[in-house]
Structure 1
Amino acid sequence: MSATSAATPATRSGAALSIAGLTVGYGGGPVLHDVSIEARPGEVVALLGANGAGKTTLLGALTGRVRATAGTIRLDGTDLRGMRTEDRARNGLALVPDGQSVVGELTVEENLRLGALWRHRGAARERAIRGIYEMFEPLERRKDADGHQLSGGERQMLALGRALIAEPRLLALDEPSLGLAPLVVAQIMRTLRETARERGLTVLLAEQNVTGALSIADRGVVLNLGKVVVDADAATLAEDSALRHAYLGF
């Protein structure tokens, strides 16, 4: 398992996201133990691990939905700990949670307008919505449909579009491929990779679909029992069969 030597990364110059010494517990002991992860602008980092490894807890700590007991979370040098969830969003953090974040009673376009509410006004908002439709063409065809009328793939596209229209600097996603058809997954993964490069967007992608995540990621971070056990280039992880068997189950 040669990649395990990268489990404790050195400080990366120009990091947009810097998580250092993060510890999270729910009362029965820590769920995350001294987790440190860094990521640069334009970098896609796949957050991998078995169920219960701590991936969703880590994303919850990023957004403030889960309280960290130690450590720091910095985005472009600003410490997010202590901020309310909405203030973290205004500082450039967007989360697409497991189960998506679409308002079923609103139309596709109304959902996008809601996502753009505090970032864009007037003509700028219309241009931003047009950009999402260009990114996800099925959404334009369904722009007058209510969220609950969409297919699973369309809802995930809309959830991602709502996050991106706010122009975040860090986009965190929890299992975006869950339950979706392979062609839809491929489109979403490709869009994430292209958007990260074009916008300099930092992406933290928590996924059970290890092959799909590593296919677009620059790096992979493997969590096991709440600890970072591997931090390595995505290609290195994909090729290390001993590591995959040990921590990822295939």
Structure 2
Amino acid sequence: MNRDAAVNPWGPSFDKLAEWDPDGAKVLLKVGTSPWTSGVLPRKEVELIALAIYCACTNLNEAGTRRHVRGALDAGATRDEVLLVFKLGAALAIHSCSLGAPILLEEMEAAGVKAADVLTPPTPACDAMREIGQWNTAWDPFYELSPSWTDDFFALGAAVYQSGVFSPRFVELLSIALDASITHMYAPGTRRHIRGALRAGATPEEIMTVLHLCVSMGLEACAAGVPILAEELDHRGRG
């Protein structure tokens, strides 16, 4: 089996499956490695998007993160590009507030509870996100409840879009991967970032390749499971 990371990111973990089920391994690898072999996206972009999927706070897969840090660096990614992917993976956690704050406001109204009456402080980071067209109305509820905290958080968001490290198109492709990943599957964000990617010039083929990358993560079931099965069979003398 070819262990070139550009062809088979999972390396020798698929060797035993290829021995036991060569046809099955061939089909899985053909589907799973399509983003690397199709040529729709440059390899560096494929590796950085894969890195986003594995390092995301909804996944935190250390082995996959290391594999795709290595792959991204081998493909020419810079330290700053890899760091920015990590920041996007961390920022994904804001969806806890996107989910919870509207529910909190509804339940406050039902219970007759009012928020503390305080003046809204200056929120320059949130203003910057609005000015560059990246404010999401789904963030209004937690901005209403915690404007200072929200501004602190979006100092990170504004920096991602204003850094110039990635093009707007590529930021949107990374964001699609984070939201559509099988460990998150956040439909509102997926739709918003697909819309943003098309607006920024991404093609449908590029967006589908991002979704194919999300699907390729499914091969981890075999990459992780088959070696364990082989070990347990060996322990029982049934290898």
Bigger fraction of residues in strand = 1
Structure with higher RCO (Cα < 8 A, 6+ apart): 1
Task: Please state which band the TM-score falls in when normalised by the shorter chain.
Answer: 0.3 to 0.5
Bigger fraction of residues in helix = 2
Q: Highest Rg: 1 or 2?
A: 2
Give the TM-score taking structure 1 as reference length.
0.38
